[in-house]
Amino acid sequence: MARLFAQRGRDLALVARRTDRLDALRDELTSAHPDIAVVTRRLDVNDHDEVFAVFADCRDALGGLDRVVVNAGMGKGVRIGAGRFDANRQTAMTNFVSALAQCEAAVEIFTAAGAGHLVVISSVSAARGMPGSMTTYAATKAAVAALAEGIRADQIGGPLTVTTLFPGFIRSEMTEGIADRVRFMADTDSGCRAMVHAMEREVAEAIVPAWPWRAVVPALRHAPLAQVRRLLR
């Protein structure tokens, strides 16, 4: 997504835990697009105090933030009752509580500036309670979707825009272990282009990529739970 935004001439603040990768990406982007500014900062979103500090630092470094994408997440869940509350708790904390911290920090900045676009990345799995290792992950993604909708309700008639994206399975480092056994896995480029296109339109909600997920999600919502379980096995 950073590469696609750089092609559009956008200044970027890139944050993650592994700054060596961020710095390499920054050098690539500024070499290809010398007119843009790219700042990188180390951030573990589970350090909630640091979320507020780093967001403010990025704002100051770029002279403002027009859009914040809340995208950090993990899929480390284990079937409920399997004795791995530690893994489910880590997934819940990263995917929801840390997303809440990022939304708080972003909306504070946007409110002070009088404008801004908050993008929250949910998942098509938010459509339904999911079995097995996906139970906690899907629950957190439903929670962040409800969080984003609540923020959007607060901003009706106001200067802030809120977009919730519901991506299907997109090939990434996080999905490498399941890529060969998951249906409808989109390649990285197609998935990122679909997400960036939806962000640029500043829609309230979007299922991305559109095919086949716009057809699959209603089926997930309304199919008998036993069929959902078979579909995901």
With beta carbons less than 8 A apart as the criterion, state whether 102 and 47 touch: no
Residue 212 burial by Cβ neighbours in a 10 Å radius (0-12, 13-18, 19+) = middle
Q: What is the pLDDT of residues 45-87, one digit of tens each?
A: 999 999 999 999 999 999 999 999 999 888 888 999 999 999 9
Q: Percent of the chain beyond pLDDT 70?
A: 91
> Exposed (0-12), middle (13-18) or buried (19+): which is 30, by Cβ within 10 Å?
middle
pTM recorded for the entire structure: 0.90
Per residue of the chain (233 residues), give pLDDT as tens. 999 999 999 999 999 999 999 999 999 999 999 999 999 999 999 999 999 999 999 999 999 999 999 998 888 889 999 999 999 999 999 999 999 999 999 999 999 999 999 999 999 989 988 888 889 999 999 999 999 999 999 999 999 999 999 998 776 666 565 544 456 666 889 899 999 999 999 999 999 988 777 777 787 787 787 877 766 65
pLDDT at 175: 57
pLDDT of res. 155: 96
CATH number of this structure's domain 66-232, picked from the four choices 2.60.120.620, 3.40.50.620, 3.40.50.720, 3.30.70.1560 = 3.40.50.720
Q: Do residues 170 and 182 make contact, with C-beta atoms less than 8 angstroms apart?
A: no
Q: Is residue 110 exposed (0-12), middle (13-18) or buried (19+ Cβ within 10 Å)?
A: buried
4 flagged as catalytic:
no
**Catalytic, out of 110, 137, 169, 213:** 137
Q: Tell me the β-bridge partners of 164.
A: 120, 205
Distance between CA 121 and CA 63 in Å, rounded?
Answer: 25
